[in-house]
A and B are shown apart, each in its own frame.
Chain A
Amino acid sequence: MPSSGYDAACLPDLLPLYYRRLFPFAQYHRWLNYGGVQKNYFQNREFSFTLKDDIYVRYQSFSTQTELEKEMLKMNPYKIDVGAIYSHRPNQHNTVKSGTFQALEKELVFDIDMTDYDDVRSCCSAAEICSKCWTLMTIAVHILDRALRDDFGFQHLLWVYSGRRGVHCWVCDEAARKLSVAARSAVAEYLSLVKGGDETVKKVVLTDPLHPFIRESLAVVERYFPQYALHEQEILSRKESVDKVLALVPEDILFLFQCCIYEGNKAVIRSLCLQATAKKGQHFEKEIMLQYCYPRLDVNVSKGVNHLLKSPFSVHPKTGRISVPMDLEELDTFDPLAVPTIRSATVLNARVVCCEKENEKDAAERRKIRDYKRTSLAKYVKYFDQFLDGLALSWKGELLKKSDLEKDF
C-alpha cells in the first residue's frame, strides 16, 4: 500500500536536507557511545549504507560524531543499517590478520515483520499494512516488552517502527550486548510459540502445565482478541476463514461444531470456540488465539552478533517514512501511517524556517539548534532523549567504578 504521493525520486533531493537539518546526530552518538565506558565502542561499530542505485557498502565506521555527520552528508545513504562492535575498526578490517577480526558485542535485537502473519490476516498481504492488522504489532510489543523486562530482567528497550511493515526492538542493557550467539538464540526460542512453515497447519501446540510466560502472553492476547479477530479481521464471518479456524480444532470437538455451522448460527460458534469446556489438557481455543495473534519473530535476526539491522531515524526508501522510536505509553494509539515522512519532515521544517526568517532575530543561533525541534520529528527525538537518560544512569555507575579503580578523583 503506497503512502500517498511518495516517490522515491525525491530522495536525492530531500535526504541531504534531512541529514543536514533533522537527523539527531547528537543523540545518536550519545546512544552508540554508551558513555564512553568501553574504549573504542563507537569507533569499532559497523554501519552499512545502501546508496543510490542499490549500491551496498559494508564495514563503515567512524571515529567521532563529526566524522559520522560528514560522511553521511557526503554519501547520502538511502538506507542505514547498524551492526556489531568489532575487535578492530570495521573500515580497516582488510588490514587485520585473517581470523582475528571478530564481532564482539551488539544489542539484542528483534524484528517483527507483518509478512510473517500473512496466513492469519485477511485485510492485507505482503508489504501492506493497515490499521486493522497493525493491532498485531501492538500485541507483539506488549507481549515481548513484558517478557524481556519481567522474565529476563532487561531494562533498556528501544522499540522502533521499521518504516514499512513491522517493528524492531533494540535491547541495550550491557548484559544484552554481551550475550553469546547461543544465548541470543535461547532467548528468541523462549519467546517463540508459533512454529512451522507453509506445510504446517497447526502452528501452536500447548501442553499442561502452562508456563507462566504463556499465561501472561495469553492475557495480553485475550484483551485484544474479540475486537481484533472477530470484529476487524472477521475470522468467523466467511466460510473460508471459518474453515481455516476449524482446521485448528481437534477432530472430536469439530464434530460438535459441524452441526452448529450447518445451522448457520454464528453466535453459537463463537461462544463454542472461545469458551469451550475443554477436556483436560486440551487448549485448542487458546491455541487458536495464539496462532492468530501471538508475535512471530525471526530467530535468525536475533541470533547473530554480527547481524545488521535498520537504524532508528533512518528513512525507509520504499515508503519515505522515518524509523521512529515508539513511546510505549502511547502504544495503543500509535499510527504507523501518520509517522513523519521525509517529505513531511523536511517540507514542514522548510516552512517553519521560512517564517522565522522573517523574524530575523538570531536566525543563525537558532539554526544551530537542531531543526527537528520544530518539526513533527520533535516528539520522537524527545522520547529518544528520555530513553537515553535512563540508559545514562547505568553507565554513570560504571564510570564511577572505573575511576575508583584508577584512583582518579
Chain B
Amino acid sequence: MQFSGRRRKVITSPQVELYGQALQFYGQPPLENMSLSEFESFAVDRLKLLKTIENLGVSYVKLSDDYKRKLDNESRNLNFPYRPDAVPDDRKSQVGPSEYEKRRKDHISHFILRLAYCQTEDLRRWFIQQEVDLFRYRFNGLQPKQKVEFLHKNNLQYDTISVEEKKTLQDKLVNSSHNVSGITVEDQDFYKVPFQDALDLVRTRKVYLKAGYVYIPHQDIVAIVLNDFRTRLSKALALTARSLPAVHSDERLQPLLNHLSHAYVGQDYSIQKNVGKISLEQIDSLSVKSFPLCMRQLHQALRDSHHLRHGGRMQYGLFLKGIGLSLEQALQFWRSEFIRGKVDADKFDKAYAYGIRHMFGKEGKRADYTPYSCMKVILSNLPSQGDHHGCPFRHSDPELLKQKLQFYKVSPSGISQILELVKGMHYQLACQKYFELTHSIEEASFSLNHPNQYFIESQRVLGGGKDIKREVGTPQRSQENSAARGSTADREAAAAANAAKDLPEMTEDLDSFFQDA
C-alpha cells in the first residue's frame, strides 16, 4: 500500500468491479462455480420475486407507492438488491448478505431462469414481462446521475435537438406530456428517438411525435431503456433456447428447470379433466350458478343475439373447453345457437366450425390453446363496439356493472363492496367478492386468477366441498418452508450430502407456494 501525499490509493476489490453498478442489462453470463443447492435456492427465490411482481402488477398501479413498498419488502425478504445507492463493498449495515452478495444472487438467478423460461413462446413472454417490470422498478429507483451513468455505460446514443428547435416546438412538447413544463424544455436536453425505439410512449401517446421521431426529455429516457432491455432479453432467450439440449443433458439440472417452468404455469386448465361430463342442457343453469361474471355475460349475449364476435368466441369457447366440453359438443353448441340467428348451417360449417376446431388443436399449427387466465382477460384484447368479452369489472362502465349486478340479484351492500374494489382496480378481488355473494359464503378459500378456477371452486361449494383435505396438507408444508429458509452455511453443508433429497423438498415448497398464493 502506498501513500502519496494526501491522496490515498483506493484499492478496489474485484467485487466492486464486477458488481459496481446497481442495475445491469445482464449482458454477460456469470462465470463461476457454485453449489447445486445455491443454484436451486437462487432460482426459486427469483421466481418468487417475479411471481410477486406479476401479482402486484394486476392489483396495483405499477410504481405507485403501495407497489414500490411491497416490492421493496419482497426484495428485502428474498435477499435481492433493493437500494440502488448501496455501495458493493459496504460492510457497515450487515445483517445478512452484503450488497455484493445480493447483486451476485440477482445476476446468477436471472441467468438460471433464462434456462427454464426460454423454451416456449408463452414462457418467454411471461418471463420477459416480469423482468421488464422488475427492471422498470429498479431503474426508477436510481438517482438521476446514476441513470445518466447507466445510459453511457450501455451505449444508448440518441441525438439531442438544437436550442432553436426546442424553442419552436416548445408548446407542442409541453402539451404532449404531463411532466414536461416550459422549464423542462429550457433546462433539459431533448432527444430525438426513432418511434420504433419508444413504443410504450407512442402507444400511450405520452410524447410528442413528429415525422417518425419522438422527442424525449432526458428525465423520460426510461421507456427507451426498457424497450432496449426487452429487445436484448428477447434475443438472448432465443439464443439460449438453442443451447438448451446441452444443458438438459446434465441430469442434475433438468428436473429443476422443468419444475421451475411448470410452476409458473401452475394450473392452466389445459388438460381437460371432465370431458363429456357436462351436457349442453346444463349450460344455461350453470351459467347462472357457476360461471364467473365475464362468462355469464358472454353466454347471455350469445343467447340474446345468437352470435358472438371473434374475441368473445375465443374467450368463451376456450372456457367451455376448460370446463369439459368435447369438440363435438362445442360444435353442436355453437352451431345450434348461430343457426337461430343470421347464420345458416352451411355458412356455419364453412366459416365458424374451422375456428372451433382450431381452438381444440385440430387445425392449423395444431396448438392446443389454453383457456384465458384472468390476467389475460383483463390485460389483452380490449373489447370495442359490439364486443362482449373482457372482464366486466375492468371493462364495463361502473353504472352498467351496477345495473347488471342488481339484475343478477346481488345485495346493495354487496354491490357497493364490489364497486369499491373496482375503483381500487382490484378486479380479481371484485370477482371473488361476487363469488362470495352469489354462493353465500363468508370468504372464498382460494385466490382467484382464472375463470375456470372460479367454475371448479363454485362446483365444489355447490357440491358439498372437498376443502377439508387441502387444509390438512398445508400446515405440514409451511413447517418445511421455514426449515428450508435456514442459514446459507447450513444449507451448503447439507448440500453435498443431500443434493438429491433437497430437490423434491424444494420443489414441494414451490408447489405449495404457488397454489396457496
Contacts and interface: CB of A to CB of B under 8 A. Distances in A.
B179 to A, nearest CB: 11
Contacts of B199: 182-183, 186
B397 A200 contact: yes
Contact of A210 (B175, B196, B386): B175
A198 interface: yes
Nearest to A203: B385
Given A197-B390, A211-B176, A202 B202 contact: no
B213 A198 contact: no
Interface stretch (B78-86, B203-211, B276-284): B203-211
Contact of A209 (B178, B390, B400): B178
A36 interface: no
Nearest to B404: A199
A189 B210 CA distance: 16
B311 to A, nearest CB: 8
A298 interface: yes
A190 B388 contact: no
Contacts of B384: 116, 194-197, 296, 298
A119 interface: yes
A152 B386 contact: no
B395 interface: yes
Nearest to B194: A175
B386 to A, nearest CB: 6
A201 B390 contact: no
A4 B109 CA distance: 69
B386 A116 contact: yes
A115 B195 CA distance: 31
Nearest to B213: A153
Contact of B385 (A118, A154, A202, A215): A118
A118 B365 CA distance: 36
Contact of B174 (A54, A117, A209): A209
Contacts of B383: 196-197, 199
Contacts of B310: 300
A47 B249 CA distance: 44
A175 B212 contact: yes
B387 interface: yes
Interface string A271-300: 000000000000000000000000010111
A111 to B, nearest CB: 13
A187 interface: yes
Contacts of B154: none
Contacts of B400: 199-201
A151 B203 contact: no
Given A199-B400, A200-B397, A186 B202 contact: yes
A267 to B, nearest CB: 30
Contacts of A298: 384
B388 A150 contact: no
B407 to A, nearest CB: 13
Contacts of A196: 383-385, 395, 397
B163 interface: no
Given A116-B385, A186-B203, A197 B175 contact: no
B262 interface: no
A180 B211 CA distance: 19
- The size class of the interface chain A forms with chain B is 35 or more
Interface in A194-234: 194-203, 209-215
Nearest to A213: B205
Nearest to A296: B385
B210 A150 contact: yes
B211 A198 contact: no
Contact of A179 (B196, B203, B382): B196
A185 B382 CA distance: 12
B159 interface: no
Contacts of B208: 212
Given A150-B211, A189-B203, A119 B385 contact: yes
Contacts of B498: none
Interface residues of B, number: 43
Contacts of A187: 202
A154 B199 CA distance: 16
Nearest to A187: B202
Nearest to A185: B203
A194 B211 CA distance: 24
B73 interface: no
Contacts of A210: 175
B386 A197 contact: yes
A117 B384 CA distance: 11
A154 B350 CA distance: 38
Interface string A165-182: 000000000010001101
B382 A190 contact: no
A273 to B, nearest CB: 21
Contact of A197 (B204, B346, B385): B385
Contacts of B392: 199
Contacts of A151: 209-211
A102 to B, nearest CB: 12
B210 A200 contact: no
Contacts of A54: 346-347, 350-351
Nearest to A119: B385
A299 B196 CA distance: 17
B350 A211 contact: no
Interface in B373-388: 381-388
Nearest to A214: B205
Contacts of A213: 205, 209
A213 B351 CA distance: 39
Interface in B99-153: none
Nearest to A297: B384
Contacts of B174: 209
B206 to A, nearest CB: 8
B251 to A, nearest CB: 27
Nearest to B365: A98
Contacts of B250: none
Interface in A51-73: 54, 56
A194 B203 CA distance: 14
B388 A197 contact: yes
Contacts of A116: 384-386
A194 B351 CA distance: 29
B399 interface: yes
Q: Which 6 A-B pairs have the closest CB atoms?
A: A153-B212, A197-B383, A153-B211, A197-B387, A186-B203, A186-B199
Given A152-B212, A195-B382, 11 more contacts: A115-B386, A152-B209, A186-B199, A190-B203, A196-B384, A199-B388, A201-B400, A209-B175, A211-B175, A213-B205, A296-B385
Interface of A: 54, 56, 98, 115-119, 150-154, 175, 179-180, 182-183, 185-187, 189-190, 194-203, 209-215, 296, 298-300
15 contacts: A54-B351, A116-B385, A119-B385, A151-B211, A153-B213, A194-B384, A196-B384, A197-B384, A197-B389, A198-B385, A199-B396, A209-B175, A209-B176, A211-B175, A212-B176
